[in-house]
Amino acid sequence: MTASTIKLTATTEDHHVAKMAAVALGLTVLENAIPSPLPGVKPGLANIVTLIVLQRYGWRMAAWVSLLRVIAGSLLFGNFLAPGFFLSLSGAVFSLAALAISMHLPQRWFGAVTHSILAAFAHIAGQMMVVYLWLIPHSGIAYLIPIFATAALVFGTVNGIIAAKFIATPPNTSSTKNTKGTNDT
Amino acid sequence: MNSYEAVRSSVKAGDWLTLLLGILCVVLITLKLWNGEQADRAIIRSAGKIFKEVPLSRDIQIEVPGPLGISIINIEKGRARITSDPSPRQYCVRQGWLQQAGEIAICLPNQVSVELTGSQKKYDSLNY
């Protein structure tokens, strides 16, 4: 009897996607421990990873990392295919669509902060659309939009600044960041 | 390099523009969505059916019967409120005056509700 094995060949790119998605997943878990005043208002720290991947490796890999994070995250929290999962998914898909467009803005003028803000707005727009079309088809949810939009702007900006800092630091020196005074640029 | 400079160096000129436009958008959306339209009619429901539809222009007191007793609804100066209700927790009474279109006070135990509507059906920004 021969044991049948399925062998998947993973490229280095695949390994990289997996690593980045794992980091994003870690940030998702971390941020779930932070209490939120309103369900749905979250910093979205995992998007920092998406932004960095977008900048360094392009949109395709950013999409992989983002969608893997959503799916693996939902498995981790036990809400795969539950409403919360579809909200995350719609947010991620809309963000990626926004990033696909905003990444073509001239890089000289527009950086990670712009991408982050636009993606955050797209994220909330996508989620509100799913909420309205599927979960709560009542115009009353329009009253929540200003709250979510404000949160998107604030967290989008902060995440964008963090991502821009990481992008400005070359990958191999980022580990030496804590040794004092060795990497003054 | 202090943290202020760190932020400055990572934000490009266009980013400031995006941030500014973002703030503008949020402010406009907030003004648009939170400045509710003035209501001009009140729809009073009892047991899920429309009991009465009254304009807010005339001051009036309406008594609505429900399974627990009588709820009293007052309309005054273009506002409406449930003045008294036999429900145990009095949520709808404590809600006070309603004056914007879309506001609603519901007394679940007595199955009575008051909803304000504007002259036109309100759209929300989700309809592209």
pLDDT digits (tens, 9 = 90+) for A85-99: 999 999 999 999 999
Chain segment A15-51, per-residue pLDDT in tens: 999 999 999 999 999 998 888 888 778 899 999 999 9
Question: A179 pLDDT band (50/70/90 cuts)?
Answer: very low
Mean pLDDT of chain A: 88
Residue B4 neighbours by CB under 8 Å, 6+ apart: none
Residue B15 neighbours by CB under 8 Å, 6+ apart: A110, A111, A113, A114, A117, A160
Q: Return the structure tokens found at B5.
A: 């400079």
Residue A118 neighbours by CB under 8 Å, 6+ apart: A98, A99, A101, A102, A156, B18
Q: Which of A122, A184, A111 is nearest to A153 (CA)?
A: A122
Q: Return the structure tokens found at B59.
A: 């001051």
Rounded mean pLDDT of A129-157?
A: 91
User: What is the complex's ipTM, to 2 decimals?
Assistant: 0.81
**Residue A178, pLDDT score:** 45
Percent of chain A with pLDDT strictly greater than 70: 91
Whether B20 and B54 map to the same domain: the answer is: no
Whether B52 and B22 map to the same domain: the answer is: no
The answer to whether residues B72 and B83 touch, using CB atoms and an 8 Å cutoff, is: yes
Distance CA A62, CA A66 (A): 6
The amino acid at residue A90 is S
Chain segment B87-114, per-residue pLDDT in tens: 888 998 999 999 888 788 999 999 999 9
Q: Return the structure tokens found at B52.
A: 């009465």
Largest Cα span, chain B: 72
Q: Which residues pair with B105 in a beta bridge?
A: B114
Interface of A with B in 97-156 (CB under 8 A): 105-106, 108-114, 117-118, 121, 128-129, 132, 139-143, 145-146, 149-150, 153, 156
Angle, alpha carbons A104-A107-A113 (nearest 5°): 95
Q: Which residues pair with B81 in a beta bridge?
A: B74
Q: Which residue has the tokens 């506002």?
A: B79
Give the length of chain B: 128
Residue of A183 and A35 predicted with greater confidence: A35
Q: Which residue has the tokens 């990873």?
A: A49
Number of domains within chain B: 2
With CA atoms as reference, the chain A residue closest to B9 would be A165
| B69-94 per-residue burial string, b: 16 or more CB within 10 A, e: under 16 | eebebbbeebbbbbebbebeeeebbe
pLDDT at B17 over 90: yes
Q: Return the structure tokens found at A97.
A: 């669509």
Task: Considering only the beta carbons, identify the residue of A105, A143, A150 that sits closest to B26.
Answer: A150
What is the architecture, at CATH level 2, of domain A14-33+40-170? Orthogonal Bundle (1.10)
Whether B96 and B67 map to the same domain: the answer is: yes
The radius of gyration computed from the CA coordinates of chain B, to the nearest angstrom, equals 22
> Could you tell me the pTM of the whole model?
0.70
Instruction: Please indicate whether, in this complex, the C-beta atoms of B1 and A149 are within 8 angstroms of each other.
Output: no
Rounded mean pLDDT of A68-74?
A: 94
pLDDT at B22 over 60: yes
Specify if B54 maps to a domain: yes
Give the length of chain A: 185
Whether B67 and B106 map to the same domain: the answer is: yes
Angle, alpha carbons A53-A56-A58 (nearest 5°): 70
**Residue A122, pLDDT score:** 97
Instruction: Please indicate whether, in this complex, the C-beta atoms of A168 and B9 are within 8 angstroms of each other.
Output: yes
The answer to whether residues B50 and B112 touch, using CB atoms and an 8 Å cutoff, is: no
Specify if B59 maps to a domain: yes
Whether B80 and B26 map to the same domain: the answer is: no
DSSP letter string over A90-110? HHHHHHHHHHHHHTTS-TTT-
Which of A105, A157, A177 to substitute to test the interface with B, most B CBs within 10 Å? A157
DSSP conformational letter for A51:
H
Rounded mean pLDDT of A136-154?
A: 90
Q: Which of B35, B31, B11 is nearest to B23 (CA)?
A: B31
Q: Which of A40-44, A137-141, B42-46, B63-67 has the lowest mean pLDDT?
A: A137-141
Specify if B64 maps to a domain: yes
Whether B21 and B55 map to the same domain: the answer is: no
pLDDT at A185 over 70: no
Which residue range(s) make up the domain with B14?
3-34
Domain extents for chain A? 14-33+40-170
Residue of B1 and B52 predicted with greater confidence: B52
CB pairs under 8 A between A and B: 85
Question: A142 pLDDT band (50/70/90 cuts)?
Answer: confident
Query: What separation in angstroms does the CA of A54 have from each of A67, A99, B19?
Result: 13, 8, 20
